[in-house]
């Protein structure tokens, strides 16, 4: 064997060893927990044979606590780039088989390198997290490494889409990188996120709680809203990430991918003409409305299990990618509350950052009342949604289906928040408040002047009908130009798509500023 052949053979052997991470026993232990390895996850995520790895031979530089005895190649994270559906993406996947995936300074340097390259190349970043946290043996170097990653997350925000997949532990400072990214997916029963673990919680507060109860996927997908998706297993999680990726543009200079469809733009939906109940206090399912107007009835929902009184997600209309925001009358009558406001605000801001037009479907009776909401700052959280719509410069098409009362009407992409095209169905009730409340305010003296209860009810009924005729309809708004048209529900798909076509070249200037001051 020549010297060259010998060197090549050693390279091949070293690559093979690096691909084994912490070795066969640790890979077996990973599989025993129903978890894939970092490389297995990337193999599922990326197109076949598209992965180009960087820094396979990077090693840690720690010389304390016996760390100098082993220097595994790759040092606990696999980084590089590949394609998903033929589109470039930069990736990193933490390898739990190497030092529990704990973050070293060299690991952070590898992650920062691919993030910097992603921004320069204008391609999304997907990070797969499975780590025990900071590598304690490295002390402040490990903390500095986290800080460097967080700064990259911040600088990349609004420039390229960032997606985090949590496929194992993610605790302490490690949780902040996913929190800074655009979308976070967790896996039920195998992943968790928290700042302080169960042992610390027990010592400080006396609470007995498991990792799953404290920060599992179900908790963050339903209660905190930290996770956008909770997958049943890793394979489902990776497929969800791939589907999400298919709706996103490469960067903030591009538009979302278009999709071919045989669904006619002119398709009418007669079912929409009868979907609103005659009784204004009865509910209907907003998912049915969304399915009737989007291409091929295909809607990809974000944050499905959190704040279910509002719906957000991606779809295509006439082949163009859009973001959908819709009140859900089946949950809490579609009211806005703290969680619904911040859920929708976050989504609106993402769509605006990445040139995704917004279609808003409105049926909102107001904000949820009560001390819990007021003490929890519903005012400021509602202002987040107001602010998000008001600052958004992407095309905005709004359709009011039924109720749009008071401040909630304003918040849901009204004309005064620079809504481009605002439509209403004939069933729309656009007013300061509902008829019952208005009668109680405006005619309480006339009602109370009567001592006969039957007469009082008669006056209420007459005044309610009078108020509804004068104010609780879409025509006052139409007469004043606050909506462009009152449309027949069956034509909603066609009218919205035509509006989006008209707005395709929209440009809107904003005052020069360093940055805004969103009401956090």
Residues acting as catalytic residues: 172-173, 407-408
First to last CA, the chain: 66
Residue 359, beta-bridge partner list: 324, 397
Give Cα separations from 399 to 152, 322, 409, 485 (angstroms): 38, 14, 11, 10
Strand pairing category for 52-54 and 320-327: unpaired
Phi, psi (degrees; rounded to nearest 5) at 448:
-70, -15
Query: Per residue, what are the HEC states of 313-336?
Result: EEEEECCEEEEEEEECCCCHHHCE
Helices 338-353/378-391 angle, 10° precision? 20
Q: How far apart are CA 440 and CA 317, in angstroms?
A: 43
* Three-state secondary-structure class, residue 424: strand
Say how far residue 114 (Cα) sits from the centre of its chain.
Answer: 23
Which residue, 299, 285, 306, 484, is CA-closest to 400? 484
- Residues whose CB is less than 8 angstroms from the CB of residue 432 and which lie 6 or more positions away in sequence, other chains included: 405, 406, 438, 471
Closest of 238, 504, 156, 213 to residue 356, by C-alpha? 504
Buried b (16+ CB within 10 A) or exposed e, 181-215: bbbbbbbbebbbbbeebbeebeeeeeeeeeebebb
Instruction: Report the alpha-carbon angle 420-424-425, nearest 5.
Output: 150
Query: What does 129-145 look like in DSSP terms, one character per residue?
Result: E---SB-GGGTHHHHHH
Residue 385 CA to residue 370 CA, distance in Å, equals 19
Extract the runs of DSSP E, i.e. beta strands, from 241-319: 299-302, 310-317
Query: Whose structure tokens read 């302490």?
Result: 172
Residues constituting the chain? 520
């Amino acid at each position: 064997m020549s010297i060259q052949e010998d060197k090549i053979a050693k390279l091949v052997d070293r690559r093979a060893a690096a691909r084994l991470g912490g070795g066969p026993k640790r890979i077996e232990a990973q599989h025993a927990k129903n978890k894939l390895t970092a490389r297995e996850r990337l193999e599922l995520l990326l197109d076949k044979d598209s992965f180009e790895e960087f820094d396979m031979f990077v090693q840690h530089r720690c010389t304390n606590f016996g760390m100098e005895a082993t220097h595994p190649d790759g040092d606990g994270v696999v980084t590089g780039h590949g394609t998903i559906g033929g589109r470039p993406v930069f990736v990193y996947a933490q390898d739990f088989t190497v030092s529990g995936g704990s973050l070293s300074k060299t690991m952070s340097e590898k992650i920062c390198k691919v993030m910097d390259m992603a921004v320069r190349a204008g391609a999304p970043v997907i990070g797969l997290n499975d780590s025990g946290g900071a590598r304690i043996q490295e002390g402040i170097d490990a903390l500095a490494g986290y800080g460097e990653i967080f700064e990259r997350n911040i600088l990349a925000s609004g420039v390229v889409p960032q997606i985090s997949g949590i496929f194992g532990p993610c605790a302490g400072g490690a949780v902040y990188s996913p929190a800074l990214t655009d979308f976070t997916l967790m896996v039920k029963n195998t992943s968790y996120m928290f700042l302080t673990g169960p042992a610390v919680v027990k010592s400080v507060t006396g609470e007995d709680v498991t990792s799953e109860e404290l920060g599992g996927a179900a908790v963050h997908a339903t209660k905190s809203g930290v996770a956008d998706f909770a997958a049943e297993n890793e394979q489902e999680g990776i497929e969800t990430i791939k589907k999400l990726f298919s709706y996103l543009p490469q960067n903030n200079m591009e538009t979302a991918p278009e999709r071919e469809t045989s669904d006619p733009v002119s398709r009418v939906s007669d079912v929409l003409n009868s979907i609103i109940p005659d009784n204004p206090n009865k509910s209907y399912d907003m998912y049915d409305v969304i399915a009737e107007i989007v291409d091929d009835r295909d809607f990809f929902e974000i944050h499905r299990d959190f704040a279910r009184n509002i719906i957000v997600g991606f779809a295509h209309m006439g082949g163009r990618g859009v973001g959908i925001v819709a009140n859900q009358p089946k949950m809490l009558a579609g009211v806005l509350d703290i969680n619904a406001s911040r859920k929708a605000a976050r989504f609106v801001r993402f769509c605006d950052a990445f040139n995704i037009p917004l279609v808003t479907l409105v049926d909102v009776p107001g904000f949820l009342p009560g001390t819990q909401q007021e003490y929890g700052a519903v005012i400021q959280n509602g202002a987040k949604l107001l602010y998000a719509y008001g600052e958004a410069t992407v095309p905005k098409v709004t359709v009011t289906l039924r109720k749009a009362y008071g401040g909630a009407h304003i918040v849901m992409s009204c004309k005064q928040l620079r809504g481009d095209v605002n439509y209403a169905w004939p069933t729309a009730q656009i007013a300061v408040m509902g008829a019952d409340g208005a009668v109680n305010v405006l005619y309480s003296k006339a009602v109370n002047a009567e001592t006969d209860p039957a007469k009082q009810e008669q006056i209420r009924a007459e005044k309610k009908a009078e108020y509804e005729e004068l104010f609780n309809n879409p025509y006052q708004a139409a007469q004043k130009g606050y909506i462009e048209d009152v449309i027949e529900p069956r034509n909603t798909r066609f009218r919205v798509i035509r509006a989006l076509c008209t707005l395709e070249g929209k440009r809107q200037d904003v005052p020069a500023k360093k940055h805004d001051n969103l009401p956090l």
